Amino acid sequence: MAEQEASGLQVLLHTLQSTSDRESILAILQVLGDLLSVGTDRRIHYMISKGGSEALLQTLVDTARTSSPDYGILLPLFRLLVKVGLRDKKFGQKALELEALDVTLTLARKNLSHSQNLLHCLWALRVFASRVTTGAILGINGALELLFKVITPYTRKHTRIIRAAAEVLAALLKSKSNSRRAVNRGYVTSLLRLHQDWHSHDTVNTYVQIRQALLLCLKHIATIRSGREAFLSCQGMEILFSTTQNHLDDKSMEPIISVVLQILRQCYPKSLLPLLTASSAYAFRIPGSITSEPPRVLTEEDFEDDGDEEVDRDSDSEDVKEEDNDLETDMNKLSSKPGLDRPEEELKQYEAMCLELSYSFEELESTLEEDLNFEGTQRANHHHIPAAASPKQHGLNKDQSCWGLEREDTVQTSLLSMVKMGRSTVHLASKKTPAMKTYPKVPCSRLGIDSSGNEIPDIQAVLKEDVWDIDAISCRRMSASLANSTMPTESVEVIDKVLQTHPKDIPFHDPHLYMAKSRRTRSVPDFKMMAFPDLWGHHPPPSAQSMLERKCGVQRIKIFEDVRRLIQPSDVINKVVFSLDEPGPLQDTSAPHCLRFFSKFESGNLRKAIQVREFEYDLLLNADVNSPQHQQWFYFKVSGMRAAVPYCFNVINCEKLNSQFNYGMQPTMYSVKEALLGRSTWVRTGCEICYYKNHYCRSAAATGGASGKCYYTLTFAVTFPHSEDVCYLAYHYPYTYTALMTHLDILEKSINPKQVYFRQDVLCQTLGGNPCPLVTITAMPESNSTDHLEQFRQRPYQVITARVHPGESNASWVMKGALEFLVSSDPVARLLRENFIFKIIPMLNPDGVINGNHRCSLRGEDLNRQWLLPSAHLQPTIYHAKGLLYYLSSIGRSPVVFCDFHGHSQKKNVFFYGCSIKETLWQAGCPVSTSTVLEDVSYRILPKILDKLAPAFTMGSCSFLVEKSRASTARVVVWREMGVSRSYTMESSYCGCNQGPYKGLQFGTRELEEMGAMFCLGLLILELKSVSCSHQLLTRAATLLNVEEEALDHHLQSSSSSSSNNIATELDDEPPCLEEIDYNTDSSLGQEGSLFELDRQIRECAFNKEEGEEDEGAGQEEKPSQSPELHGKSRASNHWTSSCDSTSPSSETHIVRARTKSRPM
């Protein structure tokens, strides 16, 4: 049957090409039309494969070249050609070879006064012009001149013709040669005049499609340099801005506004950032460091390659397939290859970091009483600030030191109650009150109330910045004792007075200890100050904040504001008010209505602030040290504000292509006045948030030699809660290196040393001279008996790392939650300590964190790309972290799980990246049979467990692909070289969740810390599910968790139920955003949209009379005909039909049938 159908079609096509009989041709065209008007596009593609395009084109050429062309044949033939040509990728080339382009142009010229014939010619030209190469040839043959004869100023006559001509012109101008031809012949001016004329007369938006097509012509011309120059010289920016400014909220104008925005962004003059150099303001001299680039003048070559070569954007090859060439398919590289990258004798140095394997617990017992006595002394004198000679004697208040005991019941119930049981029943305060107001309004008074309800006298006097100047209390090099400080006596008294008001309910934080630790932290700029939030501490809010609902049209409003700043600069102040590049102060502190900025403190990042208008500021971030790029993290102080006034901040040199700021994420803010009033909390803040591409061009030095890349603007508005406050704004909740070192010391003092083995070691010294901490946590052996010591030393290892990327502060909050949970008296934590030894490196890149980097080390390199061959001198933390793992592997103690905590800027939720040979080969379509590949599939168990346990975790976002570009990451190297099958990266969103109990909520520090605890719980469940798990451990787990053993076993079985796995492609450690927002300058009508629209016009044409009425309406312009006649005449035809005698277009309405809605194949 199929062969008969193919034979019948081929006979029809052959007959069509060979016959000159008019009746036969019309009959064949009618049959073909009936066949192609119903069903799916598969019929059309089948016809194309049998030579249908060539047959139709040849018939067109033969008919048109007769002495008197028969339009009774040509019109249905054109309609068939358009339908087929839109789906034939080689149609343009076929038309060129058969000389159909010249024929169609000739017919169009002959029919300028016959609208119906001309309309069909224009439709065919539209199809030909959809391929850039054939469009260029049409331009050479005079198509542009022809079309400008057809496109007239505003008229209500022949609007269908004008629209078709404008759309053909827009398609032709995709060719650079045609765009240059249009510029040289002054068509830019003509197009702008046509746009103004149609805009001014079409007051009810009847002919939006014509106006949109004219604008698309300008858009395509603006892709070349001479086109932009001509547009600007004709005042194009001003014209488009003025004609659309008052219509931004008009939905009927949406197609117009969209194209206008693209044109304005294309033609906005490109410029370099207002910085001396793209390199960081901080430089650290080390061997192999990157030298700063000299400033250079921007040229157009930075923006566009305006070559003569025509590039066909739609490939003529049907065999072209997009392939992910980044997936690793080399079995030698995918297979686990344990090996050393250093001499084996070097591994002996790591014995000192694993003293738990050889510790003399007889000696330890003799020191327990001393330790307890020392601990008691510290608890009794928790306000003591130690001298430099006694670094281990740190302050600790009673509440903190007894935290583990006091919170036993709380932790036991809170952790298990937060478990995501079937994703339905979970007690969360945040779900009861999902939206938390930024700050409650507080009546002003001269009294403050601390967390205990005690009055703080004269709080307003303390709040005045000239009294409690943060700069005065933040000297890092001051003596540990305030009494011996070189600071002025008045400032010391104020500091003492302020610190006496510090709340005692911030767990694991002590400002005195923080100050002592801060002066040991070494930074490249030698910071003298501390940020108040880091000193004072942060108390998590009681509930999470909802994601910000995106304001409709906020992006276009921001772009129009940028354009207004260019063309109407009269109110622009453009005053630099802060700059790291200027040695002296830039601000007159007495200047009214001007904010004051500061960022020279640990983890701070703000390079320059420019006042644009009274309440608007452009902000520029500092690049990573010794690097010209990676501007994303910010953290700075701002003061001198007015309350209840919205201030707009534009961060103009961001680099990532997209951001969760477009999808509900807000930056964070900390108010000093609020903290002194007892509300010391980082909160999400900001409205009218938008992240979009701007007009600032990235230099070649910042892009590795590539040109044309632009920066992105993050813009947000903040209304401050108090006047003359001091507030801190940050990309995410900050977590400094000093905060970590303080936290570790307090943790060590909070545990019971008879029960918890907690040891701090120094993994190595960083390039900047800061110690990188290594923490060991496990349970003390029950006794000195041989059995207990053997059990202690045979416990398997778990290795956790974090913060290799400094800007991912959320990873540190997750780590904080894990650390606090592991040392707590929670029964799950107790079981974990008794069965595992935890090796934790909580901050792999201390120097980057200290100096406010976003991604790199002091060498300007991504440390998570250095795991293959790290250098002890250049990447010491990676070198020694890898060495420690090598050592554990060499003694047969490879970790059960290795997990590197990260943050994610483009996706929501928490999820894993892991490693799988089979999944990688399958995704790559590799011919290697996966049935012959042996692989431990246990890598999926832990993420499945967390998918059931943790409210924030989702298995659906996990990926287990191994990519070539990730070959030097921790996850892949530990998996490949150490043979750890459960080697993961755990990504936590900067934003929040779009699933589960936290759906619609942004992450706070409480949720991030909870994720750290849940991760630890997942490790226990993983062990309980393992084959090697002892019955004794299972029984103890059931007892400690206060459930029956059978119930626990049932829960473990349900935890392993399968979950869908959506494999995503990573992009710079991160897949692209799942939510798409079009904010680029190059979006336009897609091929599918054009195809459908042209099909609609052809159908409509069959049921309308020839144009010419004076009042041609919008119904014909905007809506497809829905007359009952259309549906009544619809039928499928698969047989010969007779008679098509009339030659008038109206008599051919029965040829075209309604086709069902389908998509192009």
Q: CA of 1156: how far to CAs of 479, 820, 858, 1119, in Å?
A: 82, 62, 62, 17
Helix (H) or strand (E) holding 594: none
Q: What angle do CA 1134, 1137, 1138 make, to 5 degrees?
A: 175
Closest C-alpha among 657, 659, 652, 632 to residue 696: 652
Contact between residue 239 and residue 267 where contact means Cβ atoms under 8 Å apart: no
| Vertex 631 angle, CA 325 and 708, to 5° | 60
What the block records as the tokens of 446 is: 């001269």
Counting every residue, how long is the chain?
1161
Q: Is 63 left (phi over 0), alpha (psi -120 to 50) or beta?
A: alpha
- Exposed / middle / buried, residue 1150 (Cβ in 10 Å: 0-12, 13-18, 19+): middle
Report how far residue 164's alpha carbon sits from residue 852's, in angstroms, rounded to the nearest whole number: 56
Looking at residue 391, what DSSP letter applies?
T
244 Ramachandran zone, left/alpha/beta (phi>0; psi -120 to 50)? alpha
Instruction: Identify the three-state secondary structure at position 812.
Output: helix
Q: Which of 820, 963, 987, 1007 is catalytic?
A: 987
d(CA 988, CA 609): 30
Judged by DSSP in three states, 394 sits in: coil
The residues, ordered by sequence, that sit 6+ positions from 834 with a Cβ below 8 Å of its Cβ are 778, 779, 795
Q: Which one-letter amino acid corresponds to residue 710?
A: C
| Pair of tokens at residue 799 | 């290795």
Cα separation, 468 vs 842, whole angstroms: 33
Compute the distance between CA of residue 178 and CA of residue 129 in angstroms, rounded to an integer. Answer: 11
- Residue 52, Ramachandran bin (φ over 0: left; ψ between -120 and 50: alpha; else beta): alpha
Return phi, psi of residue 497, to 5°: -65, -40
E strand residue ranges, 748-864: 756-765, 771-779, 797-802, 837-841
Provide CB contacts within 8 A for 140, sequence distance 6+: 177
Strand segments, DSSP code E, in 508-631 are 575-579, 596-598, 608-613, 616-620
**Strands 646-654 and 616-620, bridge-based pairing:** parallel
* 293 belongs to the catalytic site: no
Show the tokens assigned to 1064. Answer: 């995503």
For strands 616-620 and 683-684, give the pairing. Answer: unpaired
- In single-letter form, the type of residue at position 27 comes to A
Beta strands in 433-477 (DSSP E): 447-449, 455-457
- In angstroms, rounded to a whole number, what is the distance separating the alpha carbons of residues 1014 and 426? 14
> Following CA atoms 945, 947, 952, 958 in sequence, which dihedral angle do they give, to the nearest 10 degrees?
110
Using CA atoms, how far apart are residues 910 and 987, in angstroms rounded to an integer? 6
Give the chain's count of helices (H) and strands (E). 46, 20
> First and final CA of the chain: distance in angstroms?
24
Q: Are 856 and 625 in contact (CB under 8 A)?
A: yes
Tell me which residue of 987, 980, 824 sits closest to 915, measured CA to CA. Answer: 980
Distance CA 916, CA 334 (A): 8
Answer yes or no: are the C-beta atoms of 159 and 210 closer than 8 Å: yes
Query: What are the catalytic residues?
Result: 987
